[in-house]
Amino acid sequence: MPSNARATRLTRRGLLTAGGALGLGAALAACGTRGRDKDTNGSGDKGAASGPWKFTDDRGTTADAPSTPKNIVAFTGMAAALHDFGVEVKGVFGPTKTADGKPDVQAGDLDINKVKIIGNVWGEFSIEEYVKLEPDLLITDMWEKDALWYVPDESKDKILKPAPSVALWAADHSMPKVIERHVELAASLGADVRTKEIADSKTRFEKAAARLRAAAKAKPEIKVLIGSAAADLFYVSTPARPTDTLYFKELGVNLVVPGKLDQGGWFESLSWENVDKYAADIIMMDNRTSALQPKDLASKPTWAQLPAVKAGQVIPRVTEPIYSYEKCAPLLEDLAKALESAKKVA
């Protein structure tokens, strides 16, 4: 489970019930047979010319199909990363559209009006709509071994019936390795990952990493805390598992390590009265729509008194990165910039 994903635990009561999938057995069976036996790419216009397709994911599971999958359904952040590498998906699940109809931060550059949203919040996954998409492949993240991100446990068996699935790590491995796995997946799906645009993005990412390393070396005394806010609690994330913080550590950033992790091992939850438990010069705050943002915390006097807040040294943290070089380079650049200008305040 990703850091600060307390909403994930608390909203499990809202997961899809088995009743939501009643009456779909025949449709699932038919779709499953079609997805594996057809000799086309899903649109009926390519035939078997591309040959069989295989990809071994981070579970160690090999997904295969008669030809390269075209009707792809993916977790929103995964779909956004694949988009940056030249692969388009047909449907998405996960935070895609905000209440006012705008793209969620996890949607990246996806055109959210051109993909079918079969679930927009935790626990939502319309199996009926999924089957209608005639999926060739389902792709998502994996924060815990063998746990498919945003695929409801209660209906997982039904969801995995129509098409093969691929899961890539979104934790426990450093960001460059995770991005490279997304490159490998995109290439297997027919993308040209050697374009100048992608090469330029990779160069930018590498330069950003060098800049962050230099900034961290120049100011080793600056402590950075990874935080997330809810109405009643403040969460201090461990840097030991998320891909971004693992890489920040490799680059020399001095990250606050919470001493008493909650069950699951992702963060320590603090009451707002104890929000000052850990000294920090910079606070990186969870930017997901499920978390309260700094502008929402005016009513929390203890928040306002934190040295980093008083110094204006609070920056967003992209808790669930979109794993393309294009989207990850700015994460390194923004932290480097914050370190370069930061003052020791705690």
**Domains, the chain:** 6-193 (3.40.50.1980), 210-341 (3.40.50.1980)
C-beta separation of 161 from 135 below 8 A: no
Q: What is the pLDDT of residues 93-112, one digit of tens each?
A: 999 999 999 999 999 999 99
Q: What is the pLDDT of residues 213-227, one digit of tens each?
A: 999 999 999 999 999
Report pLDDT for 264: 82
Mean pLDDT over the full length of the chain: 88
Query: How many residues appear in the chain?
Result: 346
Share of residues in the chain with pLDDT > 70 (%): 86
pLDDT at 30 over 80: no
**Torsion angle defined by CA atoms of residues 37, 41, 44 and 46, in that order, rounded to the nearest 10 degrees:** -120
Model confidence at 305, pLDDT cuts 50, 70, 90, reads very high
Report pLDDT for 200: 98
pTM, to two decimals: 0.85
Report pLDDT for 136: 97
Report pLDDT for 101: 93
Query: How far apart are alpha carbons 158 and 110 in whole angstroms?
Result: 27
What is the pLDDT averaged over residues 336-346?
Answer: 97
Which of 24-38, 80-94, 194-208 has the weakest average pLDDT?
24-38
Going from the C-alpha of 39 to that of each of 48, 73, 139, 165, 187, the distances in angstroms are 5, 19, 21, 19, 21
